[in-house]
Amino acid sequence: MRKIAFISPSKFPLLLCRSLVSIAEGGKKEDDRLHRVSVACLCELSVLNHKVFIEANGVSALTFCLLDTSLARVSEAILACLLRLFNNPAIR
């Protein structure tokens, strides 16, 4: 998914973004590496293609992950992505 997002961010499929959102909203289980990877991909996608990210309900997924205390090291990246979206008047 990351390779697709970097090669052609404008053509990133909405279905793949929704699957990332569902994994991220599912919450972290014990040693769940897929959850951390999906959160990282969502952060990257919010920068590369914000339209697909917003349409797939990625903002609420990242907000949910921000409130999760088990992702302390990733919280800064999540917060930076959300602030970038809220800072742009065209995206708000």
Alpha carbons 59 and 80: distance in angstroms, whole number: 12
Query: How far are the Cα atoms of 11, 29, 73 from residue 3, in angstroms, in the given order?
Result: 12, 26, 24
pLDDT given at position 5: 86
Q: Tell me how many degrees the CA angle 19-14-2 measures, rounded to the nearest 5.
A: 70
Q: Which residues of the chain have pLDDT under 70?
A: 69
Separation of alpha carbons 45 and 5, rounded Å: 7
Q: Which two tokens mark 82?
A: 């959300």
Report pLDDT for 69: 66
Query: How far is the C-alpha of 66 from the C-alpha of 75, rounded, in Å?
Result: 6
Model-level pTM?
0.88
